[in-house]
Amino acid sequence: MDNPARDHQTRHDGPRDQREATLRGALGKCPNCGEGRMFIGYLKTVPECAVCGEKLGLYRAADGPAFFTITIVMLLLIPLIWLSWALFSTEPFTLMLFLCGVTTVITLVLLRLVKGIFVAFLWAHDERDRGA
Ligand SMILES: [Zn+2]
């Protein structure tokens, strides 16, 4: 059972700065101190920050970052297809291979960036996993 009184004690005093937190998250840093690392490896969130001890593992992004990344990549892909067709006017197969490579790179870079921002956003609003 969640005890609201006890839960309140573990919170930080004052509202959390969303802008600062998401900026730190975008850099893959702990949204609380900005020094500890948010990820182990590529996408796994650390259970708690090694520097300040903030329990980052409580903020579960689930498939939110994937959803936003897919949406952003799709929106980028539309002008990219048109532009690469207009500039290179190569064989459609070559163009397809080129776009597959570009899309993969953009997705992998964006996914980590978006997840960092997403977890930091959850942290800023104290939206932790309550086991629902
Ligand atoms: Zn920290």
| pLDDT given for residue 32 in this prediction | 93
pLDDT average, residue stretch 83-96: 86
Ligand 1 centre to CA of 5 (Å) is: 24
Contact 30, 49 (CB under 8 A): yes
Q: Is residue 4 part of a domain?
A: no
Is 8 inside any structural domain? Answer: no
Which is more confident, 56 or 7?
56
For 74, the 3-state DSSP assignment is helix
Q: Residue 28 C-alpha to ligand 1 middle, in angstroms?
A: 11
Whether the CB-CB separation of 31 and 24 falls below 8 Å is answered with yes
pLDDT at 24 > cutoff 90: yes
CA of 128 to the centre of ligand 1 (A): 16
Residue 132 lies in a domain: no
Tell how far the Cα of 39 is from the centroid of ligand 1, in angstroms.
12
Report which DSSP code applies to 56: G
Q: Which residues surround ligand 1, an ion (CB under 5 A)?
A: 30, 32-33, 36, 49, 51-52, 54
pLDDT of amino acid 75: 95
Write the DSSP symbol of residue 107.
H
Ligand 1 centre to CA of 89 (Å) is 49
Residue 114 lies in a domain: yes
88 neighbors 95 (Cβ within 8 angstroms): yes
Which residues are CB-contacts of 32 (< 8 A; sequence separation ≥ 6)? 12, 21, 49, 52, 54, 123
Contacts for 116 with CB less than 8 Å, ≥ 6 apart: 25, 26, 27, 28, 29, 38, 39
In the reported structure, the alpha carbon of residue 120 is separated from the centroid of ligand 1 by a whole-number distance in angstroms of 11
Segment 107-114 shows an average pLDDT of 94
Q: Global pTM?
A: 0.80
d(CA 97, CA 103): 10
Q: Which two tokens stand for residue 22?
A: 């998401």
> In this structure, is residue 105 part of a structural domain?
yes
Q: What is the pLDDT of residue 90?
A: 80
pLDDT band at 122 (very low <50, low <70, confident <90, very high): very high
Domain membership of residue 95 as a residue range: 13-124
Number of domains in the chain: 1
Mean pLDDT, all residues of the chain: 86
